[in-house]
C-alpha cells in the first residue's frame, strides 16, 4: 500500500467513528455524572441478531441490556397492518433449513404456516409494448440477442448467474480461488458476452442497488445458499412458483421478534440510539443519544452497518471493520399494497400480474390461500429504482404507481384501493433492506469485518457466512454470543 493511500486511513476511520456526528466526545458529557447502568453485555440493535444473542447470553446467566434506536423491535422483520389487512414489508419467508428460526418459533409458541399468497402469471410490458411471456422470444421489442432471447426477462438475472455458479459449497465464496469473481456483476456479464439489453432487463430484479454496483461474488454467495435450500432450476424465477419450500409466521413476521423480546429478563430499551462507544479499562461504555451511558463487560453491535456509521468508536476500529462500516451497501426496497376491487384481467383478457421496465418494475397479483380469490396487488420496487423515488413520502410515491399502472393498463383504472406502503430506503436506521457487497469489497474486508475488537463483538445479516434471510441474522447473533461466552 502506498504512503499516500495510508494517509487517508486514519481520516476515514475517524469519520466512521463519528467525528462528523453531532454528539460531543464521551469524556466531556455531563451525563456521565448520572451514573451508568452496568450489565455484563450491552447489545445495540433489537433485530433477530441482537435478540438471539441476548437470549443465549441471558440463558447462560449473564445480564444483558438491548438498546434499539427505533420505536419497535424486529429490525427488518416488519409487518404492516391496516383495516384488517396484513402485509409483510420486510423478511417474510422461513426456509426449510432455517433451523434457528424454527427452533425459536417452537420454544416461544410462535406458529408457522405453509399458506402464503399464491402468485399469478405475468404480463410483460417492455419498451412500451405489452405482451404475454410466450410471445417474448420472437417479439420485436426483445432487444436481447442469441440464446438470451428465449430467457424471460424476470428470469435473466438469477437464471444466468445460476448457470454460471462456480461453486456449490455455501462456504466457498470466501475461498481465495473465488475472489476472481469479486467484480461488478454487470462487468461479469459483459465478460460472458451478455448484451447490454439483457443487462438492463436483468438489473430490474437484482436484490441490490444495481448490477453495476454489486459484486458478482455477492450474488453467487446467495445463490449457493438458495441452491442448498432447493432453488436449483435456472428456468424459474427467484420469486413466485419455484422449487423452494417456504413457511410463514402466523400473525405476521414481527410476532417472532416481539416474542423473543418479551422473553428477555431485561426489557429492550427503545428509542435509544447509540452515539458513542468507549472501550477501555476492561469495560465498554455506550453513550445513548439522550446522554445516558450504559457500561458492560462486553458489547455486541448488532445494528446494520449503515446505522453503525453514526456511532463514534474510541479508540477507532481496525481497518477491516472501519472500511466495512464506511462502505456498507444496502439495497433500497419499497412496497405498495393494494386491494383489488374488480377483476381487471377479465376486462382485458391478460395475465393479472405485471413485469415492466417502467419505474414501478413489478406488480404481483396474489390469490388468497384461503379463498383462492385474486384480491391483492403488491408493487415491489428494488435497488436504485426505489432510491430514485425516495425523495418523497411513500403515499406520494403510490400516486405515481397508480398513474403508471393506469397508463400501461387502462383496465386497472378504478380497480385498486391503496392500503399501505413502506420504503426501506427512507428508514434512517437501515437505509435499505439487505446488505450486499460492492465490487472488490469481499476481497478487501469480508473475511475480517466481523472479527471482535477487544470487548466489542459484531452481529447482523451483513456478516452472514453460510445462511441467508432471517436465519443469517440468527446465525450471527449466536456466533457473537458464543465468542463472549468463551471469554466470560
Phi then psi for 46, rounded to 5 degrees? -110, 40
Euclidean distance between the first and the last CA atom of the chain, given in angstroms as a whole number: 37
- pLDDT tens profile 371-398: 999 999 999 999 999 999 999 999 999 9
Whether 366 and 318 map to the same domain: the answer is: no
Q: Residues 323, 444: one domain?
A: yes
Place of cell 447462560: 60
The domain boundary, picked from 238, 269, 295, lies at: 238
Which domain-ending residue is among 376, 396, 423? 423
**Distances 99 to 103, 106, 264, 296, 463 between C-alpha atoms, Å:** 6, 10, 21, 30, 18
pLDDT grade, residue 488 (50/70/90)?
confident
Is 69 annotated as a binding-site member?
A: yes
Q: Residue 472: is its pLDDT beyond 70?
A: yes
Domain end among 209, 238, 267:
238
- Over the Cα atoms of the chain, what is R_g? 23
In a domain, 87, yes or no: no
H or E segment and range at residue 50? helix 48-59
Domain with residue 347: its CATH number is: 3.90.660.10
Residue 317 is given by DSSP the state P
pLDDT in tens, 81-102: 999 999 999 999 998 889 999 9
- Where b means 16+ CB within 10 Å and e means fewer, 34-55 reads eebbebbbbbbbbbbbbbbbbb
pLDDT of residue 8: 25
Q: Are residues 8 and 63 in the same domain?
A: yes
- Give the pLDDT confidence score for residue 467 in this predicted structure: 84
Q: Are residues 202 and 351 in the same domain?
A: no
Closest CA relative to residue 424, chosen from 356, 360, 364, 336: 336
Q: Does some domain include residue 417?
A: yes
Q: Residue 206 is part of which domain span?
A: 148-238
Residues 231, 159, single domain; the answer is: yes
Q: What are phi and psi of 245, to 5 degrees?
A: -80, 135
The CA distance from 479 to 460, in Å, is: 10
283 within some domain? yes
State the pLDDT at residue 20. 32
Read off the pTM: 0.90
pLDDT, tens digit, 9 for 90 and up, residues 120-134: 999 999 999 999 999
Q: How many CA atoms lie within 13 A of 221 on its CB side?
A: 30
461 is an annotated ligand-binding site residue: yes
Contacting residues for 35 by C-beta, under 8 A, at least 6 apart = none
**CA atoms of 42 and 294, how far apart (whole Å):** 7
Q: At what angle do helices 469-487 and 99-107 cross, to 10 degrees?
A: 80
What gap in Å lies between CA 209 and CA 190, rounded to an integer? 18
d(CA 465, CA 473): 10
Residue 318, in any domain of the structure: yes
| 282: exposed, middle or buried (Cβ count in 10 Å: 0-12, 13-18, 19+) | exposed
Q: Which three cell numbers stand for residue 386?
A: 426505489
**Residue at 77 is within a domain:** no
What are the C-alpha distances in Å from 159 to residues 184, 224, 430, 467? 17, 13, 29, 21
156 and 123: one domain? no
Measured between alpha carbons, how far is 327 from 444 in angstroms, rounded to an integer?
11
Q: Residue 1 pLDDT more than 50?
A: no
Phi, psi of 313 (to 5 degrees): -105, 130
Tell me the mean pLDDT in the region 173-194: 97
Peptide bond before 315: cis, by omega within 30 degrees of 0?
yes
Q: How many residues are there in the chain?
A: 488
**Sign for the pseudo-dihedral over CA of 334, 391, 360, 461:** negative
Q: Is residue 430 part of a domain?
A: no
Per 3-state DSSP, the chain is made up of helix, strand and coil in percentages (nearest 5) of 35, 25, 40
Q: Is a pLDDT exceeding 70 seen at residue 36? A: no
Q: Tell me, yes or no, whether 169 and 228 share the same domain.
A: yes
Same domain flag for 153 and 214 = yes
For range 46-70, the mean pLDDT:
97
| Same-domain check for residues 447 and 400 | no
Distance from C-alpha of 253 to C-alpha of 74, rounded to nearest angstrom: 9
Helix (H, G, I), strand (E, B) or coil at 363: strand
Structural domain count, the chain = 3
Q: CA 188: distance to chain centroid?
A: 23
In the three-class reduction of DSSP (H, G, I as helix; E, B as strand; rest coil), residue 420 is classed as strand
Element spanning 419, H or E: strand 416-423
Q: What is the pLDDT of residues 68-84, one digit of tens each?
A: 999 999 999 999 999 99
Angle between helices 9-16 and 319-326 (to 10 degrees): 60
Q: Identify the CATH number of the domain in which residue 277 sits.
A: 3.50.50.60
pLDDT value, residue 442: 97
- What is the Cα–Cα distance from 33 to 27, expressed in whole angstroms? 11
Same-domain pairing of 313 and 450: yes
pLDDT of 296-350, one tens digit each?
Answer: 999 999 999 999 999 999 999 999 999 999 999 999 999 999 999 999 999 999 9
Please indicate, yes or no, whether residues 338 and 193 belong to a single structural domain of this protein.
no
Clarify whether residues 415 and 461 are in a common domain: no
Q: How many CB atoms lie within 10 A of CB 164?
A: 16
Mean pLDDT of 410-430: 96
pLDDT in the model for residue 242: 52
**Do the domain assignments include residue 248?**
no
Query: Has residue 396 been placed in a domain?
Result: yes
Q: Do 168 and 224 meet the contact criterion of CB atoms below 8 Å apart?
A: yes
Amino acid at each position: 500500500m502506498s504512503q499516500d493511500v495510508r494517509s487517508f486511513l486514519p481520516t476515514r476511520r475517524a469519520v466512521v467513528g463519528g467525528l462528523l456526528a453531532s454528539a460531543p466526545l464521551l469524556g466531556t458529557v455531563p451525563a456521565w455524572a448520572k451514573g451508568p447502568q452496568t450489565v455484563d453485555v450491552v447489545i445495540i440493535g433489537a433485530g433477530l441478531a441482537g435478540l438471539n444473542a441476548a437470549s443465549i447470553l441471558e440463558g447462560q446467566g449473564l445480564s444483558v441490556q438491548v438498546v434499539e434506536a427505533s420505536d419497535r423491535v424486529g429490525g427488518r422483520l416488519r409487518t404492516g397492518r391496516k383495516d384488517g389487512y396484513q402485509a409483510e414489508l420486510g423478511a417474510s419467508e422461513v426456509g426449510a433449513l432455517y433451523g434457528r428460526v424454527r427452533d425459536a418459533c417452537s420454544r416461544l409458541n410462535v406458529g408457522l404456516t405453509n399458506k402464503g399468497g399464491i402468485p399469478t402469471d405475468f404480463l410483460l410490458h417492455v419498451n412500451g409494448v405489452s405482451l404475454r411471456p410466450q410471445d417474448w422470444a420472437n417479439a420485436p421489442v426483445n432487444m436481447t440477442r442469441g440464446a438470451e432471447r428465449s430467457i424471460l426477462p424476470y428470469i435473466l438475472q438469477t437464471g444466468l448467474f445460476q448457470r454460471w455458479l462456480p461453486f456449490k459449497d455455501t462456504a466457498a465464496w470466501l475461498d481465495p480461488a473465488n475472489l476472481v469473481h469479486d467484480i461488478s456483476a454487470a462487468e461479469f456479464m459483459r465478460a460472458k458476452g451478455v448484451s447490454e439489453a439483457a443487462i438492463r432487463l436483468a438489473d430490474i430484479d437484482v436484490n441490490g442497488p444495481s448490477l453495476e454496483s454489486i459484486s458478482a461474488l455477492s450474488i453467487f454467495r446467495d445463490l449457493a445458499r438458495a441452491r442448498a435450500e432447493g432453488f436449483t432450476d435456472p428456468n424459474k424465477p427467484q420469486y413466485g412458483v419455484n422449487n423452494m419450500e417456504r413457511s410463514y409466521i402466523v400473525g405476521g413476521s414481527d410476532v417472532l421478534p416481539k416474542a423473543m423480546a418479551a422473553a428477555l429478563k431485561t426489557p429492550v430499551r427503545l428509542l435509544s440510539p447509540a452515539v458513542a462507544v468507549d472501550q477501555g479499562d476492561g469495560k465498554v461504555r455506550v453513550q445513548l443519544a439522550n446522554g445516558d451511558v450504559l457500561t458492560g463487560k462486553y458489547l455486541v453491535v448488532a445494528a446494520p452497518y449503515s446505522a453503525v456509521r453514526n456511532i463514534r468508536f474510541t479508540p477507532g476500529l481496525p481497518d477491516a471493520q472501519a472500511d466495512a462500516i464506511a462502505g456498507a451497501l444496502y439495497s433500497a426496497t419499497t412496497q405498495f399494497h393494494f386491494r383489488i376491487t374488480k377483476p381487471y384481467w377479465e376486462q382485458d383478457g391478460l395475465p393479472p400480474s405485471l413485469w415492466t421496465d417502467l419505474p414501478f418494475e413489478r406488480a404481483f397479483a396474489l390469490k388468497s390461500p384461503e379463498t383462492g380469490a385474486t384480491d391483492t396487488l403488491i408493487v415491489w420496487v428494488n435497488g436504485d429504482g426505489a432510491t430514485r423515488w425516495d425523495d418523497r413520502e411513500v403515499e406520494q410515491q403510490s400516486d405515481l404507481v397508480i398513474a403508471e399502472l393506469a397508463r400501461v393498463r387502462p383496465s386497472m383504472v378504478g380497480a385498486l384501493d391503496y392500503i399501505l406502503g413502506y420504503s426501506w430506503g427512507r428508514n434512517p436506521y437501515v437505509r435499505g433492506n439487505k446488505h450486499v457487497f460492492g465490487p472488490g469489497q469481499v476481497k478487501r474486508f469480508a473475511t475480517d469485518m466481523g472479527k471482535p475488537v477487544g470487548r466489542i463483538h459484531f452481529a447482523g445479516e451483513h456478516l452472514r457466512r453460510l445462511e441467508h434471510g432471517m436465519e443469517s441474522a440468527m446465525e450471527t447473533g449466536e456466533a457473537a454470543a458464543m465468542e463472549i461466552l468463551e471469554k466470560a
